[in-house]
Amino acid sequence: VRPDALKRSLEGVHVAISAGGTREALDPVRFIGNRSSGKQGYALARVAAQRGARVTLVAGNTADLATPAGVDLVRVGSAVELRDAMHKVAADADVVVMAAAVADFRPVSLTGHKIKKTGGDPDPIALTKNPDILVELVSARRTGQLIVGFAAETGDETTSVLDYGRAKLRRKGCDLLVLNAVGDGKAFEQEDNAGWLLSPDGSETPIPHGPKTQVASAVWDAVTARLTESQ
Ligand code: CTP
Ligand code: CA
């Protein structure tokens, strides 16, 4: 075993990872969803398992992805289901990674029957906020537990991608934020990703543009370094 492989080992570490997009039901056949493929979360699970971790992957809707070898898979639909599953799994996890694309809002009411188009113009869809799972996990954090969040930002006229990322890291209170620059075909449904790893001590490590497996490796390198520090 090479010394750097030992240094990066996740042997004996239980990691909980969320991946994919949530689906918020409108009626028995319709939902509000998003374009998340789940590829980044699955790559994180695969690399963690390869490094010896016990991995629980909580997956919402994803592209047709193979479950990585040795990974326990839990399937969820809505944000509320994802929240319940993550709280359960996080209670026993050393590291928690929220890579899922959680719907910010869900329909206020779920119609038990299919909504029909008869009767003139449709009613607007009333929405309510979903719980912020990452914030909840941070407040329920066990001693020594490391929590990683994700952010996909575009930046705009007034605020850069990095500034949005810094503000999000503060707001969420997590130990690491994986910040991705999106837009112009970046990140979503793509094989490649680019961004930074932000931490509350102010460190901002660029993640070189590359496959999502490489991003996953960068995340686990940073996590391992922090786990070793805190021991
Ligand atoms: N997240 C979460 N629960 C939510 C929304 C987001 O746990 N209801 C998590 C995501 O999994 C991700 C991080 O929070 O790890 C950032 O998600 P993002 O959508 O960028 O943050 P929001 O707080 O929803 O802010 P925005 O208005 O930019 O969407
Ligand atoms: Ca959001």
**Residue listed under structure tokens 């326990």:** 72
Task: Give the torsion through C-alpha atoms of 83, 88, 89, 95, to 10 deg.
Answer: 80
Complex confidence, ipTM: 0.99
**pLDDT recorded at residue 110:** 85
Average pLDDT over residues 80-94: 98
Distances (CA, A) of 105 to 22, 172, 193, 216: 10, 18, 26, 28
Q: How far is the CA of 23 from the centre of ligand 2 (A)?
A: 13
- Distance, in Å, from the CA atom of 90 to the CA atom of 104, rounded to the nearest integer, reads 21
Q: Give the dihedral sign, CA 31/44/178/169.
A: positive
**pLDDT recorded at residue 111:** 82
Q: What percent of the chain is predicted at pLDDT more than 90?
A: 79
Q: State the Cα angle at 98 between 21 and 94, rounded to 5°.
A: 145
The answer to whether 20 and 82 have CB atoms below 8 angstroms apart is no
Binding site membership of 98 for ligand 1 (Cβ less than 6 Å): yes
**pLDDT recorded at residue 10:** 97
Binding site membership of 84 for ligand 1 (Cβ less than 6 Å): no
**pLDDT recorded at residue 101:** 98
**pLDDT recorded at residue 123:** 86
Nearest to 169 by CA among 98, 74, 92: 98
Nearest to 212 by CA among 81, 19, 83: 19
pTM: 0.94
**pLDDT recorded at residue 5:** 66
pLDDT at 231 over 90: no
Binding site membership of 132 for ligand 1 (Cβ less than 6 Å): yes
Query: pLDDT tens across 148-176, in order?
Result: 999 999 889 999 999 999 999 999 999 99
Q: How far is the CA of 102 from the centre of ligand 1 (A)?
A: 6
Closest residue by Cα to atom 18, ligand 1, is 151
Q: Does residue 34 carry a catalytic annotation?
A: yes
